[in-house]
Amino acid sequence: MRKIAIAASLTVLSLTLASCGEPSPKNPISAASLETAQWNSKAAGELRDRIDRRDEHALDHVAFALPEKGKDGEDRALTDEALRFASALAKGSADPAKLYPIYTLARPDIDLRNGLADALMQGKVGEWLDNLAPKDPHYLALSKAYVALRKGDGQGAPAIPERARPLEPGSTDARIPAIALQLIALGYLDNGSTKPTRYDAVMTKAVQRMQADYGIKPDGIIGSDALEILNFTDGDRARSIGVAMERLRWLERNAPSTRIDVNTATSQLTYWRDGKIVDSRRVVVGEPDTETPLLQSPIYRLVANPTWTVPRSIEKKEIAGKGEGYLRQNNMVWKDGWIVQQPGPKNSLGLVKFDMQNTHAIYLHDTPAKALFNEVQRQRSHGCVRVEDALGFAEILARDAGVLEEWRKARDAGEEGFVALPRKLPVRLMYQTVVVDDGGNAIIRADPYGWDDRVAKALGFPSVAAHRLKSGGNDVGP
């Protein structure tokens, strides 16, 4: 049984996907003609073949009701199922807008009815279907991994067994190599940092950090709770990969070549310029219960030395009852009925805000709470995205936008200042719990928001109970 390799060095999952198959511009057939479309044996055979091989797209848990050959209404039933299968490939089997309260990421816009009509006319139904799903190398890598796992019926990597006595630091145990691999996959242990023959001090510290993140007593003792987080069977891996493939199908195939992508599941930012990754850095994103939403929104200006108007929700939850002394200590004042934090080193937005255009008050910004960037699970904010070395990142963006002189002048003024970008910079806030390493291996990461389950259910996978990341940011920043 082929197992998914675990590697320590990861690359950010590329989400620039190849374009969908489009109807031929020559001699298009009206979509209305599908009502009376005639399916020959070749076209019907190609449809049945692609549906039979739908595990290549992790859609094998989704049922498609193909009619019996020669049965009355066969042509109409084939058309209906072909459109349904094509939609699953081109746009996803589920509608993300129905699964999440906020979803504004650009989606594929494909005329499937005209596409099918054209494919039937040209006798290329199979070719048309083959071109609908993403063609990106990362999607193909996930497909390969999923098929390999399914061929093993999810039994190739059995769960790490629980023993009568919990595993304590300093112990030797046959399960330690498997535990080390899971800690590496989850990001708590560096590959090569320990020899997995004994539960040594390095592994113990990794387990303690994991326990703290998930609300378990951080004693380093591996009992049932810790094993529940560590245990990934091949079936669990296949489920996670299937969810990741569905999320890729939701995305437009031709993303802007210059953009910022933020993966809130792994708390990682990637800056693309002209189709190439030019910068990648850690971020802190929304904690569970104040999750960073799934949205697409551009940065339109840089704000130097920003003020912060405290939202009512944070004012009531975090500041109410703390008194004027707290406000003075944190450089906060009342202004027009709102608490406003003045510019300076204590400002919760730090020294730069990357202003974005959306109705959800979500943006990227600096932070004085630098220690959070050293955490493995960095879901610790009230929903906005805190950027590691934000001043350095602002320099990069300002230079690329041709406004570096204006930016430096505003930054050095010490007062709130605004520098408009000549061209808006697209930002996508996404959620992917599977990344692909340099060797093309699928690496399963944590699901800190517990958002995989709703997608998995929509794809027909069984529900899995799992530990959620523990809430508890230690500052009042956005």
Q: Please give the structure tokens belonging to residue 239.
A: 């489920």
* Ranges assigned E (strand) in 220-306: 259-263, 268-273, 276-286, 295-296, 299-304
**CA torsion through residues 204, 207, 211, 216, sign:** negative
Burial class (CB in 10 A: 0-12, 13-18, 19+), 441: middle
Q: Which of 57, 365, 382, 467 is catalytic?
A: 365
CB contact set of 368 (below 8 Å; sequence gap of 6+): 345, 346, 347, 348, 350
Is 384 assigned a catalytic role? yes
Between CA 213 and CA 376 the distance in angstroms is: 8
Neighbours of 214 (CB within 10 A): 20
Residues 6 or more apart whose Cβ sits within 8 Å of residue 322: none
Phi/psi at 96 (5° precision):
-60, -30
- The 3 state secondary structure assigned to 298-322 is CEEEEEECCCEECCHHHHHHHHCCC
CB 185 within 8 A of CB 6: yes
C-alpha distance across the termini of the chain, in Å: 46
Find the helix packing angle between 234-250 and 137-151, rounded to 10°: 150
Examine the residue annotation and report whether 61 is marked as an active-site residue of this protein.
Answer: no
DSSP secondary structure of 371-400: GGGG-SS-EEESSSEEETTHHHHHHHHHHH
Q: Quickly tell me which residue has 């940011």 as its tokens.
A: 473
Q: How far apart are CA 442 and CA 142, in angstroms?
A: 6
Active-site annotation holder among 57, 61, 138, 384? 384
Residues with a known catalytic role: 365, 384
